[in-house]
Structure formats: C-alpha cells, structure tokens
Structure 1
C-alpha cells in the first residue's frame, strides 16, 4: 500500500482537487469556487486559501485549507474533503493539524471551523484539533449531501498559542449563563472589550437576510421591528457589556440567541441572534449547542403559533 504524503498545494494540483470535490459531493458543494480549477489556483496564489493535500503516488485523496476572505488575524479551517477510498486514516485530522501548526507563521491569532450537523464526523474532528464550540448558524447553507433541508452549522474557535480572545467580564443573563460561563472559562475575560470598525451591514444570502450590527439602540430596534415578519434573519451583534439589554431587546422582537462567533478583524466576538428556522431534530453531541438548538426550535414553534393566532383574529375581524 502506497503511503500517504501530507504536503502543501501546488498550482498543478488544481484539476485533481476540483475532481475530488466532484467525486465526493457531486454538484452539491456550497462553495462553487471548487468547481473551477482556475479559482482554486487564484485563491491560493492570492493568499485567500492556504491549501494542504493528502496524496499518494497516483491521486489527490484529501484537501483542507485555511481560508481568509480579507486580511485578518483569524482564518477558517474549511474546504475539507476526503475521498471515500481513503477514509478511516485520519486524513482530515492530519490535514487540519498541519494547517494549525503553520497558522502562527501566517500571522494568525485564531482559527474557526464550521461543523456540519448532518453527521457527527466533523464535530469529532474539531474536538480532536482543540476547537471549542461557541455557537449555532441555523439553516446556514444548502445541504452538501443533497438533503431537502439546509445545513445547520456549529461554529468553533481555536486560539493559536500565545494569543487570547477574552469575553466581557459581566453578569450573564440566566437564560444563557451556563454557556457563557463555560466560554469565559475557555477564552478568559477582560474588563475592556474591543470595538468593531465595521458599520451597519445588511445582505441577502439565499433564503435569509444577514445583518451585522456594531451597536444596538432604540432607533435601530424600531427599524428591525418593522422588517417583514416572514423574513428569515440572522443578526451578528458586537458582544459588549450591554449584552443583557441586547438579549432582552432581541428576544422581544422574536429572535433567539444562538451563541457566539469570532469577529474577523480583531479580537472581539459577535453575539448571534436568529429569527425563523426549519423544524428539525438534531443530535449535536454537545450539551451547550444542543440547548441552543432546542431553544431555537421552541422559539420557532412559539412564533408560528403566534402568527396563526394573529391570522385567525384578523380573519374574524374581517368577517
């Protein structure tokens, strides 16, 4: 049996890497870049991807990359794929471990990973590599497995040696205290939290609307309240010492808290809030992520019940 070699990506690998994604995922992979070998080369040449491969003497059998869309001190460990014939050899773990070993020399302070929840395999890999679960991204991408429901992702974070990403040192609300105290024990706390440079943003992503918010106030809350009720909205709000008020305000608008994710350009965090979700049962293997999912499902059921009641009242009034 030919031994596998873990090595850096070369421009001549582009076609083989693209074929690997096609063989494993068909045409369902959420990032279309992998279907254009020229894009794979371009991303690696420009430093947006740092790809690592598992190869034998005849084929590329595994791929993973550190991905940065913009210059920042954090990257996502992503684009991990292993050929079915090579599974069971810890290839994904070996690729991830090598990329994390190089992360410090690339100027990274942390790495994130988005784990699919369709099966527990990636969740086990993330734990092996020292990642910690921080939040849920509900119904985030079309299923790469051809399933009818979009894939919910678990967000994880790993600190590169010598760096920290502390949370605000505050009294956390009872509804999420267990999770937040756990994350404080992992990432530490600090009295001063960094401010984001980003301004208010809103974008359409397939079936949902993504909103990034630096600071929540009464005026913006009223504008959010007036957005169409049928919109599925994912909001990322800068985590700050005002979190208790932010949580209460978002809850009043029908949003559920789904944890944290790291910001891209500094050492801060986003608090995640979501409104509108597909009904599903997930076994996440993490008590904190399972609680977030169960709370989100409960919130969605309550919202649907309220809409049905409002529609019934409206129909009777019209009659």
Structure 2
C-alpha cells in the first residue's frame, strides 16, 4: 500500500478534486464550485481558498480548504472537507485540519470557524479534537448532502488563532441563556461592546427555502415587519450581539423566534452575531457536544410547549 502524503493544492489537481467530491457526495454537495474545476482554480487564484490534499500515489484521496471571503480577511472557515470512502479511518480530515490551522496562523488569521453536520458525529468529533469551541446551531440550514429528505442542521464552532480573543459585550445575560453565555465568555473573553458595523443595516439573502437576514439592530418598525412575515417561512436572523441583547431576545421571542446561539461576524471586525430562527420543524438530534445538546433540547421544549408565542 502506498503511503499517504499531505501537500498543498496545485492547479493540476482541480479535475481530481472535483471527481473526489462527486465520489463522496454525488451531485448533492451544496457549493457548485466543487463541480467546476475552473472555479476551483479561480478561487485559489483569488486567494480565497487555501487547500491541502491527501495524495496516495497519484490519486487524491482527501481535500480540505481554508475559505476566506477576501484575501485580506482576518477570519477563515475550515470547509470543503472530503475523504474518499476507501481511505476513511486514517484521520485524514483531522490531519488536513491540523495543517490548515497552522496555515491560518501564517496567513494572519485571528480565528477560524467550522460548520459541522449533524447527520453523523464525525465532523463534530473532529472539530472538538482540533480545539474548536461550539457556539451555536443553525437548524435546517442546508439541503442534506447525504440524500436525506430533511434539511441538514449545522453546529457552528470557532477557534481563536495565536491567542486572539473575540470578546462578548459585557452585560447581565438573561436567565434563559446565562449559563450558555457565561461559558462562551469564559472561552472568548468579555469586552466593552459591539464592534463597528459594516454595510447596510438590513441585508437579506435567499438560500433555497430559507430567508437569511443580517441585522445591525432591532427597532419597533422592523419588529412589526418581521411579525407580519408568514409563520411557516424558515427565517434565520443573524443580529449583531450588543449590550441590548436581553431586550432583543425578549422582542424576538415574543414574535416566535428561538435563540440558537452565536456565530462569528466575519465581515465586521471580529464581533458576534446572535442567531434566531423561526419556521423550522423541531426534531431530535443526537449531538456530540453536551452544550449544543442542551441548547438544542431547550429550543425543542420552547417550541413544543408554546413558550414562543404565536404571531
């Protein structure tokens, strides 16, 4: 058996990497770039992707990427992981992740995030082994890459690089999430307040059946408009975490949104986004992280008991 070698991505790898994703995920992977070798090379030329591959002889058997939204971004995502079924059990994804986290430090990144699938426990275990701290849940986030009828829910993990901290704004946290927030504050620190916002104060994107909103702040007019949206719509709100969190939580709970944790705000100088969701179907998940399991169970109880008032 030929030894497995981890090395940097080369432009000549594009076709083989695309074929690897087809072998692992069929035609179900969410990012169309992996099916177009020309886009794979373009993303590397633009320095938004920094990839490693695992090579056995002449065959590419594994792939993972550090994804940045721009060449100068200080945050990255560990993403686009694929390991050929014939070579599983060799910790290839973890080994690729370890080297990419070292590369993130060389690129000057301050933090790296990861989106972990919940269909199986393997990426969740890998993230824990790589030192990520889980911060939030994205329910029914994407179409399942595993052929399941139900959408895939995602666990968000964050790891600081080279001692950099991403502090939470100092405040008294509401009782319903106080333990959860104190744990994150212990990990990432506490700072003076929210970071400077960039871009429009309300941004909306559509991802399949999901409406994703990026909000700088809440006000009565916006809340009234959110209340009027159809209850069955899957709406994800990513709201800048600020000292007004307690009021924001109360206001969004009152119109049927459940709090599902935090995610890093990559475009906004290192802050945090509070995650709120409405319109998804609650279901059981067996999560590897006990903190995420507790958060998930709390959300299910809220929805199931009607603690989130109807619109």
Q: Fold match, TM over 0.5?
A: yes
Distance in 2 of aligned mates of 1:33 and 1:250: 35
Residue 303 of structure 1, CA deviation = 5.7
Q: 1:184 to 1:305 in 2, by over 3 A?
A: closer
Q: 1:260 to 1:305 in 2, by over 3 A?
A: closer
Given the alignment of the two structures, is residue 212 of structure 1 paired with residue 209 of structure 2, yes or no?
no
Aligned to 2:199: 198
Distance in 2 of aligned mates of 1:288 and 1:178: 10
Runs (5+) with no aligned partner, structure 1: 311-319
Distance in 1 of aligned mates of 2:228 and 2:283: 28
Distance in 1 of aligned mates of 2:308 and 2:102: 50
| Residues 256-271 of structure 1: pairs in structure 2 closer than 5 A | 256-265=258-267, 266-271=269-274
Q: Give the counterpart of 1:246 among 248, 252, 272.
A: 248
Q: 1:206 to 1:304 in 2, by over 3 A?
A: farther
| Residues 222-301 of structure 1: pairs in structure 2 closer than 5 A | 222-265=224-267, 266-301=269-304
The number of aligned residues is 308
1:220-252 Cα shifts (integer Å, max 9, x gaps): 111211222221110000001111001001000
Residue 305 of structure 1, CA deviation = 10
Given the alignment of the two structures, is residue 171 of structure 1 paired with residue 155 of structure 2, yes or no?
no
Aligned to 2:25: 25
Asked if 1 retains the 8 angstrom alpha-carbon contact of 2:125 and 2:288, the reply is: no
Given the alignment of the two structures, is residue 74 of structure 1 paired with residue 75 of structure 2, yes or no?
yes
Aligned to 2:4: 4
Residue 175 of structure 1, CA deviation = 0.3
Name the TM-score, length of structure 1 as normaliser.
0.93
Q: Radius of gyration: which is bigger?
A: 1
SS in structure 2 at match of 1:269: strand
Distance in 1 of aligned mates of 2:258 and 2:238: 12
SS in structure 1 at match of 2:155: strand
Aligned to 2:50: 50
Runs (5+) with no aligned partner, structure 2: none
Distance in 2 of aligned mates of 1:303 and 1:31: 36
Distance in 1 of aligned mates of 2:305 and 2:224: 22
Most deviating of 27-36 and 251-260: 27-36
Q: 1:182 to 1:240 in 2, by over 3 A?
A: same
Residue 33 of structure 1, CA deviation = 1.1
Distance in 2 of aligned mates of 1:20 and 1:241: 46
